[in-house]
Chains A and B, each alone.
Chain A
């Protein structure tokens, strides 16, 4: 067994050389690099490399230093962009629209630039955006988009709804004959009409004795629509499919939208129930536990 403190193991790696194994040749290249003009940088793809002024055989001491020649100053090329920018700045300074001038060369004028908050993902109508995301299963957005466009096609082709006076739609709704040709409005109207106004939160153990305290609270438009879409989707998913193929889901969803507008949908009952609970629990807003709760935070 070899000794642990064997010095040869590490010493063997050392190479002891008395002479350089190769003659130094980098001196001429250094001088060659010095010849390259000042403005030129040695990019890898530079083609116009100046030929070496001397052979490698020549000793470095024989290079004759060239006299310094100042290069003539190149005039700037006409920069139209610059001029345009300056003109636009001048126009802006004069209180006019700076973009007018830039749009001169364009066939259809300048497109409206997106504002800072605009996102590519938010390019659709908010209702469409929300429905698409809520229809989406397994992250398949394009499939959900296809469904939404087929739903809109269904609304375009279905006969105009007969609105029931028992379930009034939003005030200011257009006459039902106009709805099919504006499917986006049709969809929005159905969802906004059936959307609840309040949400009833049940605060656990707040009523004392371990029982929950129901408290109504107002909700914003997006959350209202979300609740309505959840109700509609619940009904649609329970409905038996009478067809097959890519249009069957859209047909079921579209039928439910039509029945919402016509006041036949079960979503109305759920809305009514929620509103009733909300009205009943209105008194709880003055509950001492809640008042204390609010004060605490």
Chain B
């Protein structure tokens, strides 16, 4: 029998005796390779119980740096996205702030509530959450329960909306302002006003979801427009969830013969919204719902969209002819732009709100110029003229934004800043004395009260204390 060990081992018969006897498995190794060390090692690897080499010699081992495979369970599909999108609205560690009023429909238009912190009512919080008004980049998760600061612009906006709706007019308004100045929060407060006043609130939380070609689209028959069925279903569900109380008091009045689902006269508007979850039927049903809402005697409408710049450009969708589709040819976007541009008549009064974003927004020269012109017209000044050497102005954007009101959101005043900082201190998040001097210092540090900068300066103050 040929030995399964190499020549080096044979040189030491004394040690050889100490080792365990050669196993049967090792003995049945191919005999032709007795002189090859590596083959021996490979075969002995299979029979680990057999004799071991005392000195195996040096071998080049490649890939030693290979990391151990991760034993933990990989995240489920959708789990990582859920983490990213999670909205946390309470923090049990933060202290409860007693003595703060709850926001009401009267309080939000009262000039005396400027510079005060208000809590949001629980049902309004649920509604706001359902229509995705809270964003994960906002610091709601630091505090015990959602509270907002009513600032001058809030009362101004709420007053404009309620006045217009009382007179059955349409308020068309664009919120602009610097980055972090609180435009989206102001939009949220407007939505809260709508919920408190029992208006029908329709909110499109991110304009870019509609135009970055990330949701289904389909051509609408007999038109050049494209509907977004899956998004429409989602929007209908959100509207149903948030406005159920208002919509269930109104019944369908028109005949909807052309609809793919049967709609009867004793169906409520909420029932109409909830009638289908089929993406193919979503757009006609939503259109029917919109027609019903525009009849006289219906509740007023608040239609709001965040990230206005994204719907003011050519979308990333392509038509069957492989041409890029303008955002205004997407029917849901067209519905909003028609409302904002004043083409839709609202007999019951409405507020159409476009909220611009500065953090994630493309540069749209047409929109900037149109807003500047609208702002100048609002002040009664000479509107700034277009750049004669720029070719790519978009007439449709100018049509949409003609005659809108512009609300420029700036930093908060010092009294508002003080209220905010006192709330932060009372919640236990800010650990320092709040006096006129410190408020003034932080207000100045944050570019005259830009709220996001104030948060950075105050809440993330990592100074040695």
Contact check, B429 vs A124: say whether CB atoms are below 8 A apart.
Answer: no
Residue pair A108, B462 in contact (C-beta under 8 Å): no
Q: Is the pair B463, A159 in contact by a Cβ cutoff of 8 Å? A: no
The smallest beta-carbon distance between A70 and chain B, in angstroms, is 53
Stretch among A17-25, A71-79, A145-153 lining the B interface: A145-153
A125 B83 Cβ-Cβ under 8 A = no
Q: Chain A interface mostly helix, strand, loop or mixed? A: loop
Within 8 A of A (CB), among B414-465: 428-429, 431, 436-437, 440-441, 456, 459-460, 462-465
**Given known A156-B429, A180-B93, A240-B74, contact A124–B463 (CB-CB < 8 A):** yes
* Contact yes or no, B72 A240, CB < 8 A: yes
Determine the chain A residues whose CB is within 8 A of the CB of B462 once the complex forms: 124-125, 128, 148-149, 152, 184
Decide if A157 touches B88 in the complex (CB within 8 Å): yes
Residue-wise, chain B 51-75 has the 8 Å CB interface mask toward A (1 for contact) of 0000000000000000000101011
Q: Is residue B12 contacting chain A, with contact meaning CB distance below 8 A? A: no
Q: Interface SS of chain B: helix, strand, loop or mixed?
A: loop
- Whether a CB of chain A sits under 8 angstroms from the CB of B80 is yes
| Most chain B beta-carbon neighbours within 10 Å: one of A128, A157, A180, A247 | A157
- The 8 Å CB contact of A124, one of B72, B94, B456, B464, is B464
Rounded to whole Å, the gap between the CB of B209 and the closest CB of chain A is 16
Q: Which residue of A lies closest to B142 (CB)?
A: A156
Question: Quick check: B84 and A245 within 8 Å, CB to CB?
Answer: yes
Q: Is the CB of B460 within 8 A of A149?
A: yes
The reply to whether the CB of A242 lies closer than 8 angstroms to some CB of chain B is yes
> Would you call B141 an interface residue if the criterion is a C-beta within 8 Å of the partner chain's C-beta atoms?
yes
Give chain A interface residues in 159-185, CB to chain B under 8 Å.
159-160, 180-182, 184
**Across the interface, do A242 and B440 meet the contact criterion of CB distance under 8 Å?**
no
Contact of B437 among A108, A148, A160, A239 (CB under 8 A): A108
CB closest residue in chain A, given B76: A242
Contacts of A209-234 to chain B: CB distance below 8 A:
none
Cross-chain contact B141 with A157 (CB below 8 angstroms): yes
Interface residues of B in 118-175 (CB under 8 A from A): 136, 139, 141-142
Chain A contacts for B391, CB-based, 8 A = none
Q: Does B92 contact A (CB under 8 A)?
A: yes
Contact B142 A243 (CB under 8 A): no
A240 CA to B71 CA, complexed, in Å: 9
Total interface residues on A, CB under 8 Å, equals: 29
| CB <8 Å contact, B94 and A181 | yes
Closest to B141 in A: A157
Which residue of the partner chain A has the closest CB to B460?
Answer: A149
Contact of B80 among A123, A149, A242 (CB under 8 A): A242
> Inside 8 A of B142's CB, which chain A residues have their CB?
153, 156-157
Most buried by A among B81, B431, B460, B465: B460
A257 to chain B, nearest CB (A): 15
B141 touches A153 (CB 8 A): yes
* A265 interfacial by beta-carbon distance below 8 Å: no
Report the count of interface residues on B (CB-CB < 8 A).
Answer: 33
- Of all chain A residues, the one with the shortest Cβ separation from B74 is A240
Nearest B residue to A251 via CB reads B83
Whether B83 lies near A248 (C-beta < 8 A) is yes
Interfacial residues of chain A within 231-273, with CB under 8 A of chain B in the complex: 239-245, 247-248, 251
- Contact yes or no, A159 B92, CB < 8 A: yes
> Quick check: is A60 within 8 A (CB to CB) of the other chain?
no
Q: CA–CA, A135 to B440, complex, Å?
A: 33
Answer whether residue A126 sits at the interface, using C-beta atoms and an 8 A cutoff: yes
For the complex formed, measure the closest distance between the CB of B99 and the CB atoms of chain A, giving whole angstroms. Answer: 20
A128–B463 Cα distance when bound, in Å, is 9
Tell whether, in the assembled complex, residue B91 and residue A156 are in contact, meaning their CB atoms are under 8 Å apart.
yes
A229 to chain B, nearest CB (A): 16
- Compute how far the CA of A245 lies from the CA of B79 in the bound complex, rounded to whole angstroms: 12
**Cα distance, A156 to B75, chains bound together (Å):** 25
Q: How far is the CB of A113 from chain B (nearest CB, A)?
A: 16
Q: In the complex, are the beta carbons of A242 and B75 less than 8 A apart?
A: yes
- Residues from chain A with a CB closer than 8 A to the CB of B436 are 108
Q: Are A181 and B428 neighbours in the complex by a CB distance under 8 Å? A: yes
A277–B456 Cα gap in the complex (Å)? Answer: 44
Q: Are B93 and A157 in contact (CB under 8 A)?
A: yes
Interface string of A116-160 (1 = CB under 8 A from B): 000000011110100000000000000000001100110011111
Query: Which one of B88, B428, B436 has the highest number of Cβ atoms from chain A below 10 Å of its Cβ?
Result: B428
Contact B141 A243 (CB under 8 A): no
Closest to A239 in B: B72
Given A242-B80, A244-B81, decide whether A123 and B463 contact each other with a Cβ distance below 8 A: yes
Could you tell me the distance between the alpha carbons of A85 and B8 in the complex, rounded to whole angstroms?
A: 94
- In the complex, residue of chain B having the shortest beta-carbon distance to the beta carbon of A109: B437
Task: Give the 5 A-B residue pairs with the shortest CB-CB distance, closest first.
Answer: A243-B83, A245-B84, A180-B93, A149-B460, A244-B80
